[in-house]
Protein backbone atom coordinates (compact mmCIF):
# COMPACT_ATOMS: atom_id res chain seq x y z
CA UNK A 1 0.00 0.00 0.00
CA UNK A 2 1.14 3.59 -0.63
CA UNK A 3 3.14 4.86 2.35
CA UNK A 4 1.53 8.30 1.91
CA UNK A 5 -1.90 6.76 2.40
CA UNK A 6 -3.42 7.19 5.84
CA UNK A 7 -6.03 4.82 7.18
CA UNK A 8 -8.38 5.47 10.10
CA UNK A 9 -9.35 2.35 12.05
CA UNK A 10 -11.84 2.10 14.89
CA UNK A 11 -10.93 -0.39 17.62
CA UNK A 12 -13.24 -1.23 20.52
CA UNK A 13 -12.29 -2.82 23.87
CA UNK A 14 -14.92 -5.00 25.55
CA UNK A 15 -14.96 -6.95 28.79
CA UNK A 16 -16.42 -7.10 32.27
CA UNK A 17 -16.12 -4.41 34.92
CA UNK A 18 -12.68 -4.17 36.51
CA UNK A 19 -10.66 -6.27 34.05
CA UNK A 20 -8.39 -3.31 33.28
CA UNK A 21 -9.60 -2.06 29.90
CA UNK A 22 -8.81 1.58 30.74
CA UNK A 23 -5.42 0.58 32.19
CA UNK A 24 -4.53 -1.31 29.01
CA UNK A 25 -5.52 1.61 26.82
CA UNK A 26 -3.65 4.17 28.93
CA UNK A 27 -0.54 1.98 28.94
CA UNK A 28 -0.64 1.55 25.18
CA UNK A 29 -1.42 5.16 24.22
CA UNK A 30 0.23 7.17 27.00
CA UNK A 31 2.73 4.70 28.53
CA UNK A 32 1.40 5.21 32.03
CA UNK A 33 -0.38 3.26 34.72
CA UNK A 34 -2.46 4.46 37.68
CA UNK A 35 -3.51 2.25 40.57
CA UNK A 36 -6.99 3.76 40.68
CA UNK A 37 -9.26 4.41 37.74
CA UNK A 38 -12.84 5.56 37.84
CA UNK A 39 -15.37 3.24 36.27
CA UNK A 40 -15.89 4.11 32.60
CA UNK A 41 -19.47 5.25 32.02
CA UNK A 42 -20.51 4.48 28.45
CA UNK A 43 -17.29 4.98 26.47
CA UNK A 44 -14.22 7.16 26.15
CA UNK A 45 -11.94 7.46 23.12
CA UNK A 46 -8.17 7.81 22.72
CA UNK A 47 -6.20 7.96 19.47
CA UNK A 48 -2.75 6.77 18.47
CA UNK A 49 -0.95 6.97 15.13
CA UNK A 50 1.21 3.97 14.22
CA UNK A 51 2.92 2.64 11.11
CA UNK A 52 2.26 -0.90 9.90
CA UNK A 53 3.58 -2.33 6.64
CA UNK A 54 4.46 1.17 5.38
CA UNK A 55 0.94 2.40 6.06
CA UNK A 56 0.20 5.20 8.51
CA UNK A 57 -2.73 4.16 10.68
CA UNK A 58 -4.70 6.36 13.02
CA UNK A 59 -6.23 4.11 15.65
CA UNK A 60 -9.36 5.44 17.29
CA UNK A 61 -9.65 3.21 20.35
CA UNK A 62 -12.95 3.08 22.21
CA UNK A 63 -12.76 2.15 25.90
CA UNK A 64 -16.17 0.88 27.03
CA UNK A 65 -17.91 0.48 30.37
CA UNK A 66 -18.10 -3.11 31.57
CA UNK A 67 -21.08 -2.88 33.89
CA UNK A 68 -24.04 -5.00 32.85
CA UNK A 69 -26.41 -2.03 33.08
CA UNK A 70 -24.38 -0.26 30.37
CA UNK A 71 -24.46 -3.23 27.97
CA UNK A 72 -27.18 -1.77 25.73
CA UNK A 73 -25.45 1.62 25.67
CA UNK A 74 -22.06 0.06 24.91
CA UNK A 75 -23.48 -1.96 22.02
CA UNK A 76 -24.46 1.28 20.30
CA UNK A 77 -20.72 2.03 19.96
CA UNK A 78 -20.01 -1.18 17.98
CA UNK A 79 -21.05 0.30 14.64
CA UNK A 80 -18.16 1.02 12.30
CA UNK A 81 -15.61 -1.00 14.27
CA UNK A 82 -12.64 -2.39 12.37
CA UNK A 83 -11.32 -4.53 15.22
CA UNK A 84 -12.24 -5.73 18.69
CA UNK A 85 -10.28 -6.51 21.86
CA UNK A 86 -11.93 -8.84 24.36
CA UNK A 87 -10.30 -8.48 27.76
CA UNK A 88 -10.57 -10.49 30.94
CA UNK A 89 -8.77 -10.63 34.29
CA UNK A 90 -6.71 -13.81 34.83
CA UNK A 91 -7.43 -13.51 38.58
CA UNK A 92 -11.21 -13.49 38.01
CA UNK A 93 -12.82 -16.62 36.56
CA UNK A 94 -16.17 -14.89 36.09
CA UNK A 95 -14.62 -12.25 33.81
CA UNK A 96 -13.22 -15.04 31.64
CA UNK A 97 -16.56 -16.86 31.56
CA UNK A 98 -18.27 -13.70 30.25
CA UNK A 99 -15.88 -13.25 27.28
CA UNK A 100 -17.99 -15.51 25.05
CA UNK A 101 -21.12 -13.44 25.83
CA UNK A 102 -19.30 -10.24 24.87
CA UNK A 103 -18.00 -11.89 21.69
CA UNK A 104 -21.39 -13.18 20.60
CA UNK A 105 -23.14 -9.90 21.38
CA UNK A 106 -20.57 -8.00 19.32
CA UNK A 107 -20.64 -10.37 16.31
CA UNK A 108 -24.45 -10.46 16.21
CA UNK A 109 -24.63 -6.69 16.04
CA UNK A 110 -21.86 -5.92 13.55
CA UNK A 111 -22.38 -8.85 11.15
CA UNK A 112 -18.98 -8.77 9.39
CA UNK A 113 -19.27 -8.92 5.60
CA UNK A 114 -15.78 -10.19 4.80
CA UNK A 115 -14.19 -13.29 6.36
CA UNK A 116 -13.42 -13.50 10.05
CA UNK A 117 -13.71 -10.28 12.01
CA UNK A 118 -10.40 -9.07 13.54
CA UNK A 119 -10.31 -9.85 17.25
CA UNK A 120 -7.71 -10.54 19.91
CA UNK A 121 -8.13 -11.78 23.46
CA UNK A 122 -6.15 -10.23 26.30
CA UNK A 123 -5.75 -11.94 29.66
CA UNK A 124 -4.77 -9.00 31.89
CA UNK A 125 -3.09 -8.82 35.33
CA UNK A 126 -0.53 -11.58 34.80
CA UNK A 127 1.65 -9.65 37.26
CA UNK A 128 -0.61 -10.93 40.07
CA UNK A 129 0.15 -14.44 41.32
CA UNK A 130 -3.38 -15.36 42.48
CA UNK A 131 -4.58 -16.67 39.12
CA UNK A 132 -7.95 -18.29 38.60
CA UNK A 133 -7.62 -18.76 34.83
CA UNK A 134 -4.58 -20.74 33.64
CA UNK A 135 -2.70 -19.79 30.50
CA UNK A 136 -3.39 -23.25 29.02
CA UNK A 137 -7.14 -22.96 29.61
CA UNK A 138 -7.39 -19.49 28.04
CA UNK A 139 -5.16 -20.47 25.11
CA UNK A 140 -7.24 -23.60 24.44
CA UNK A 141 -10.46 -21.56 24.45
CA UNK A 142 -8.95 -19.11 21.97
CA UNK A 143 -7.56 -21.87 19.76
CA UNK A 144 -11.05 -23.41 19.42
CA UNK A 145 -12.28 -20.07 18.06
CA UNK A 146 -9.14 -19.27 16.04
CA UNK A 147 -8.45 -16.12 18.06
CA UNK A 148 -4.98 -14.80 19.00
CA UNK A 149 -4.38 -14.80 22.75
CA UNK A 150 -2.05 -12.47 24.66
CA UNK A 151 -1.18 -12.66 28.34
CA UNK A 152 -0.71 -9.03 29.34
CA UNK A 153 -0.04 -6.76 32.28
CA UNK A 154 -1.14 -3.14 32.01
CA UNK A 155 0.78 -2.41 35.21
CA UNK A 156 4.13 -3.83 34.06
CA UNK A 157 3.61 -3.17 30.34
CA UNK A 158 3.86 -6.83 29.36
CA UNK A 159 2.74 -7.64 25.77
CA UNK A 160 0.40 -4.62 25.64
CA UNK A 161 1.91 -3.03 22.52
CA UNK A 162 2.28 -6.43 20.83
CA UNK A 163 -1.40 -7.24 21.37
CA UNK A 164 -2.72 -3.89 20.14
CA UNK A 165 -0.50 -3.92 17.07
CA UNK A 166 -1.34 -7.53 16.21
CA UNK A 167 -4.99 -6.45 16.16
CA UNK A 168 -4.17 -3.32 14.14
CA UNK A 169 -2.43 -5.47 11.51
CA UNK A 170 -5.44 -7.82 11.28
CA UNK A 171 -7.83 -4.84 11.16
CA UNK A 172 -5.86 -3.23 8.34
CA UNK A 173 -5.99 -6.44 6.29
CA UNK A 174 -9.72 -6.76 6.92
CA UNK A 175 -10.27 -3.11 5.98
CA UNK A 176 -8.40 -3.53 2.68
CA UNK A 177 -10.32 -6.74 1.88
CA UNK A 178 -13.61 -4.95 2.59
CA UNK A 179 -12.72 -2.14 0.19
CA UNK A 180 -11.69 -4.61 -2.49
CA UNK A 181 -14.89 -6.61 -2.03
CA UNK A 182 -17.01 -3.45 -2.16
CA UNK A 183 -15.36 -2.23 -5.36
CA UNK A 184 -15.62 -5.65 -7.01
CA UNK A 185 -19.33 -5.91 -6.15
CA UNK A 186 -20.21 -2.34 -7.10
CA UNK A 187 -18.46 -1.99 -10.46
CA UNK A 188 -20.15 -4.04 -13.16
CA UNK A 189 -18.88 -3.40 -16.66
CA UNK A 190 -20.98 -6.01 -18.44
CA UNK A 191 -24.71 -6.27 -18.76
CA UNK A 192 -26.34 -8.97 -16.66
CA UNK A 193 -29.31 -9.29 -19.04
CA UNK A 194 -28.96 -10.66 -22.59
CA UNK A 195 -29.58 -8.00 -25.26
CA UNK A 196 -33.14 -7.87 -26.55
CA UNK A 197 -33.65 -8.46 -30.29
CA UNK A 198 -35.11 -5.57 -32.11
CA UNK A 199 -37.38 -5.98 -35.10
CA UNK A 200 -38.69 -3.39 -37.61
Mean pLDDT of 99-124: 87
Give pLDDT tens digits for 24-40. Answer: 999 999 999 987 666 65
CATH assignment at residue 46: 3.40.50.300
Give domain status of residue 198, yes or no: no
Q: Is 199 part of a structural domain of the chain?
A: no
**Is residue 144 one of the residues assigned to a domain?**
yes
Confidence (pLDDT) at 156: 97
Considering the domain boundaries, does residue 84 fall inside one?
A: yes
| Domain count of the fold of the chain | 1
Is the whole-model pTM more than 0.85? no
Residue 1 located in a structural domain: no
Domain assignment of residue 50, yes or no? yes
Please give the full DSSP string across 21-47, using - where no structure is assigned: HHHHHHHHHHS---S--PPP-SEEEEE
Stretch 92-114: mean pLDDT:
88
Residue 191 lies in a domain: no
Q: Domain containing 110: what range? A: 6-183
The reported pLDDT for the residue numbered 62 is 93
**pLDDT greater at residue 75 or residue 125:** 125
Within a domain: residue 102?
A: yes
CB of 79 closer than 8 Å to CB of 110 = yes
Amino acid sequence: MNSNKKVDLKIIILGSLGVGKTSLLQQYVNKRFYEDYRTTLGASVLTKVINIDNTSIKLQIWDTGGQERFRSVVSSFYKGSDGCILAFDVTDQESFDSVEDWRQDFLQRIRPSVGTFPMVIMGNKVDISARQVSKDKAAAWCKERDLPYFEVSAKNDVNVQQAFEALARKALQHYLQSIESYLTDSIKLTSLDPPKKRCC
